[in-house]
Amino acid sequence: MTPLPAYLLLSSLLFSIGLAGALTRRNAILVLLGIELMLNAANLNFIAFWRYGMEPEAITGIMFVIFSIAVAAAEAAVGLALIISIYRHYKTVNLDKVDELKG
Amino acid sequence: MNLTFAILAALTVVSAIAAMSLRNLVHCALCVAVTFGGLAALYLKLGAPFVGWAQVLIYVGAVAILIVFAILLTRSDAPAQPVVSKSWVAGIAVALLVFGVLTRAVMTSEITIQQPPAKPEPTVLKIGTELMTRYVLPLEATGLLLTAATIGAVIIALQEPVSKRKNVAGSSNTEQAGGASPAPNPPIPGGHV
Amino acid sequence: MIIALLKGLFLMIWKVLGDQPDPKADFLAALPEALRVLASVVLSVVPIMVTFPLLFAITTLLERKGLGRIQNRLGPNRVGPCGIFQPIADGLKMITKEDIVPRNADQLVHFLAPIALVIPTFLAYAVLPFGRHLVPINLDAGILFFFAVGASTELSVFMAGWSSRNKYSLLGAMRAIAQMISYEIPLIISTVTVIMLAGSLSLVDIVAKQTGFVGGILPHWNVFTPWGFAGFVMFLIASLAESNRSPFDLPEAESEIIAGHLTEYSGFKYALFFLAEYLGMFAVSGLAVTLFLGGWSAPLPYLDWMPTYVWFMAKLMAIVCLFIWIRGTLPRLRVDQLLNFAWKFMLPMSLLNLVVAAIWHFTSVWSFPGELAARWLLCAAMIAIPYVWLGRALSGDKKSTLRIYRFAD
């Protein structure tokens, strides 16, 4: 197997692990962790395609990943702030219990 | 394939599975930090050192700590509950389905049988030049996004003032630290969240 | 083959001492092909792993004697003449002490925390240029690597504090991490000014830009420019906070919170934490020397007969002595004072420093004496005036008056 499909398979495996975690765990923070893992898997995909793809001199893959890392960090910050705020109101971060819109 | 790739891939996958399935939240956060580290090593192996070290700095050095702080600030004293939700079978089935679809897409495409091109050497100078010429608009937009996210996160996580009535002295500051909010908030060190 | 190896070894030591390029080449040429990479790595790593813990031992003695003299007492002077063998006694004590782990502690994380702290701290030395030809790796993104491994040490501080299952440990760890992430930003922004003007993230290039002398005598170091001086001061303050040293040592001070995140550690693990703190201090001093003090270059043109690594070490020890002096002089900051200082004073000043460095760069074509003076005055005023104004604004209404002492009768 050439290197590219190995990296792509690894990235899809990490993506599905993150997806499984985000769909099955009940704690809101772990759902966020799953989402971060999915973002990282996508970044790995970009770098693998940049390295083994058509035109590595244009470093488009690296640029995309730099911006993706920045956006993912910002999203993690806001998401965790939301979780802290939810905890303050509901006294729990169990997603099965946070099921009412009435505050 | 390659021995280093096999070791790094195994490390990353095992720590990702551990991160998603452990019972103790802080252990999950530490395992996900190991996953980020493994991914950074893979970026270094793929010949992108700037992204690799940026991944360590941002993810292991900041996002993992953010996650750990959030876990500590949202601990409840309730007894240990079942780890997964009631419909965990459906979740795992969907994930397996997604993995199956992606694997079939990868294995049956033509791009995977081509020969890889020569290894590029992206210098930091080139990355910086591209950031300032071709990608300057996304750069500025990302700066704006990060500023908005910082301000937004601080405002969302700020505690509401203790007394909502207007004081006669007029000195209701909106930044109360710890203090009179009801238990079971753990003490917030340093004053501001 | 043994003779070739010994000859290669002798040549390597000769070349290192004589500051000549490519010291490892002869030794590596005498080895079989398969071993060359491993031998090259070992030859780069072992001197660092031997030198800096030795320097750590010497510095503990220096610090205790220095602090003692500042506080008007002798330091340790029992073990050996003038207390020279005190570090050996300390080392023996640390190694032979019983390793107590609380029963409720999280055993695996408690064990891994000191290891996870020491490894990134040692890694940080890999990019520092110790001499003209003595850099272990010349990474293209050297400074990014340094800060990346520096940031990974924060997670291990949390691991230590949380795994002890002790309220004081956890509180100390949270305060330590809050302090470290707050002071990372002025640290990195001060570095960005140097990167901006050097045009490269590689530490070797940054030092190369600072060689050469202005007007024949004054060295071209970054600290002799207005933005460089302000950046150097801010870098030193931020690095004191990053390595949890006085006056920022609230997380581990004995009178405050027992020992913070180190409370439940004894014996060799405590020694590892101590080692990691001092090694971090040396690494960040090494970075300060590289970025602002011209790295391995000599201060005056007729002093460059001394080997370059001697200059690097001398400057490093000067900064370490400065840190010891500051520790003995200034009182400890409270945690809210510490965080206020970082976010409300250091961050705006470092951003301003960035602007001043940019102005300095764009006015570098001004070279007539009048224009030169104007450039200096403009940049210095742009730093000094906001410094005074911000300092006055942040200290509130507190006026410093003459202190009146009342002694007990």
List chain C pLDDT tens, one digit each, 409 residues.
788 888 888 888 888 888 788 788 778 887 888 888 888 889 889 999 999 999 999 999 999 999 999 999 988 888 888 888 999 998 899 889 888 888 888 889 999 999 999 999 999 999 999 988 888 888 889 999 999 999 999 999 999 888 888 888 888 888 889 999 999 999 999 999 999 999 889 999 999 988 877 766 778 888 888 899 999 999 999 999 888 887 888 777 756 667 778 888 888 898 999 899 999 999 999 999 999 998 888 888 888 788 888 899 999 999 999 999 999 999 888 888 888 899 999 999 999 999 999 998 888 887 777 778 888 888 888 888 988 888 888 877 667 777 788 888 7
Yes or no: say if C195 and C120 are a contact pair by the CB < 8 Å rule. Answer: no
Does residue B96 share a domain with residue B61? Answer: yes
Give the model's pLDDT for residue B189: 45
Name B84's bridge partners.
Answer: A25
The answer to whether the Cβ–Cβ distance between B51 and A96 falls below 8 Å is no
Give the model's pLDDT for residue C261: 81
| Closest C-alpha to C165, from C217, C101, C237 | C101
Q: Measured between CB atoms, which of B26, B54, B62 is closest to C162?
A: B26
Q: Measured between CB atoms, which of B71, B99, B130 is closest to A29?
A: B71
What are the pLDDT digits (tens) for A23-77?
Answer: 998 889 999 999 999 999 999 999 998 988 777 788 889 999 999 999 999 999 9
Average pLDDT rounded to a whole number, residues B150-173:
66
Please state, in angstroms and rounded to a whole number, the distance separating the CA atoms of residues C365 and C345.
32
Q: How many angstroms separate the Cα of C136 from the Cα of each of B148, C42, C54, C264, C286? A: 41, 11, 19, 36, 14
| Closest C-alpha to A27, from B29, B149, C158 | B29
Give the model's pLDDT for residue C278: 93
Yes or no: say if A39 and B149 are a contact pair by the CB < 8 Å rule. Answer: no
Please state, in angstroms and rounded to a whole number, the distance separating the CA atoms of residues C180 and B65.
11
CA C79 to chain centre: 29
Q: Is residue B113 part of a domain?
A: yes
pLDDT confidence band for B182 (50 / 70 / 90): very low
Select the more confidently predicted residue: B172 or C378: C378
Token couple for A90 = 């509901």
Please state, in angstroms and rounded to a whole number, the distance separating the CA atoms of residues C313 and C87.
20
Does residue B193 share a domain with residue B105? Answer: no
DSSP code string of B44-110: HHTT-HHHHHHHIIIIIIIIHHHHHHHHHHT---SPPPPSB-TTHHHHHHHHHHHHHHHHHHHHT-G
Please state, in angstroms and rounded to a whole number, the distance separating the CA atoms of residues C5 and C28.
8
Classified as helix, coil or strand, C111 is helix
Write down which chains contact chain C via at least 3 CB pairs under 8 A. Answer: B
Name C218's bridge partners.
Answer: C214
Please state, in angstroms and rounded to a whole number, the distance separating the CA atoms of residues B71 and C403.
46
Instruction: Judge residue C387's burial from the number of C-beta atoms within 10 Å of its C-beta, 0-12 exposed, 13-18 middle, 19 or more buried.
Output: middle
Yes or no: say if C63 and C324 are a contact pair by the CB < 8 Å rule. Answer: yes
Taking contacts as CB-CB distances below 8 angstroms, the residues of chain B near C177 are: 65, 69
The answer to whether the Cβ–Cβ distance between B69 and C174 falls below 8 Å is yes
Give the model's pLDDT for residue B192: 40
Does residue B64 share a domain with residue B96? Answer: yes
CA C239 to chain centre: 6
Place of tokens 């931020």: C238
Token couple for B25 = 């939240």
Does residue B105 share a domain with residue B15? Answer: yes
Give the model's pLDDT for residue B112: 62
Does residue B135 share a domain with residue B43? Answer: no
Q: How many angstroms separate the Cα of A76 from the Cα of each of B37, B63, B73, B149? A: 17, 7, 15, 9
pLDDT confidence band for B14 (50 / 70 / 90): very high
DSSP code string of C166-221: -HHHHHHHHHHHHHHHHHHHHHHHHHHHHHHHHT-S-HHHHHHHT-SEETTTEE--
Q: Measured between CB atoms, which of C145, C158, C339 is closest to B191?
A: C339
| Closest C-alpha to C205, from C146, C127, C125, C283 | C127
Give the model's pLDDT for residue C394: 83
ipTM given for this complex: 0.92
Domain map of chain C by residue range? Answer: 2-46, 97-334
Which residue spans within C274-327 are E strands per DSSP? none
pLDDT confidence band for B162 (50 / 70 / 90): low
Give the model's pLDDT for residue C202: 92
Taking contacts as CB-CB distances below 8 angstroms, the residues of chain A near B91 are: 20, 23-24
DSSP 8-state symbol, C19: T
Nearest residue in B to A80, CA atom? B70
Each residue of A31-44: b (16+ CB within 10 Å) or e?
bbbbbbbbbbbbbb
B184: pLDDT strictly greater than 60: no
The answer to whether the Cβ–Cβ distance between A80 and B55 falls below 8 Å is no
The answer to whether the Cβ–Cβ distance between B68 and C155 falls below 8 Å is yes
Q: Which residue pairs from B130-137 have beta carbons closer than 8 angstroms and sit at least 24 positions apart in sequence? A: B130/A59, B130/A63, B131/A63, B131/A66, B135/A63, B135/A67
Q: First-to-last CA distance in chain C?
A: 82
Chains B and C touch (3+ CB pairs under 8 A): yes
Chains B and A touch (3+ CB pairs under 8 A): yes
Instruction: Judge residue C348's burial from the number of C-beta atoms within 10 Å of its C-beta, 0-12 exposed, 13-18 middle, 19 or more buried.
Output: middle
Name C213's bridge partners.
Answer: C219
Q: Which residue pairs from C387-392 have beta carbons closer than 8 angstroms and sit at least 24 positions apart in sequence? A: C387/C230, C387/C349, C390/C345, C390/C348, C390/C349, C391/C345
Yes or no: say if B117 and C192 are a contact pair by the CB < 8 Å rule. Answer: no
How many domains are contained in chain B?
2
Query: Is the Cβ of A52 closer than 8 Å to some Cβ of chain B?
Result: yes
Nearest CA of chain B to the CA of A98: how many Å? 13
Please state, in angstroms and rounded to a whole number, the distance separating the CA atoms of residues C45 and C57.
19
Decide which of 3.40.50.720, 3.40.50.1000, 1.10.287.3510, 3.40.50.300 is the CATH code for A3-90.
1.10.287.3510
Average pLDDT rounded to a whole number, residues A70-86:
93
Nearest CA of chain C to the CA of B164: how many Å? 25
Q: Is residue B82 part of a domain?
A: no
Q: Measured between CB atoms, which of B37, B53, B189 is closest to C174?
A: B189
Tell me the Ramachandran region of residue A90: left when phi exceeds 0, alpha when psi lies from -120 to 50, beta otherwise. Answer: alpha
Q: Measured between CB atoms, which of A3, A29, A44 is closest to B25?
A: A29
DSSP code string of A24-48: HB-BHHHHHHHHHHHHHHHHHHHHH
Average pLDDT rounded to a whole number, residues B176-190:
41
Name C214's bridge partners.
Answer: C218
Token couple for C208 = 């190369």
Classified as helix, coil or strand, C65 is helix
Taking contacts as CB-CB distances below 8 angstroms, the residues of chain C near B123 are: 140
Q: How many angstroms separate the Cα of C80 from the Cα of each of C57, C62, C72, C95, C196? A: 15, 14, 21, 20, 50
Give the model's pLDDT for residue B176: 40
Yes or no: say if A69 and B54 are a contact pair by the CB < 8 Å rule. Answer: yes
Domain that holds residue B106: 1-77+90-120
Does residue B62 share a domain with residue B20? Answer: yes
Q: First-to-last CA distance in chain A?
A: 55
Classified as helix, coil or strand, A54 is coil
Residue C374 amino acid letter? A
Select the more confidently predicted residue: B41 or B72: B41
Each residue of B180-193: b (16+ CB within 10 Å) or e?
eeeeebeebbbebb
Taking contacts as CB-CB distances below 8 angstroms, the residues of chain C near B50 are: 140-141, 144
Token couple for B93 = 């089935």
Q: How many angstroms separate the Cα of C382 from the Cα of each of C37, C49, C270? A: 51, 43, 45
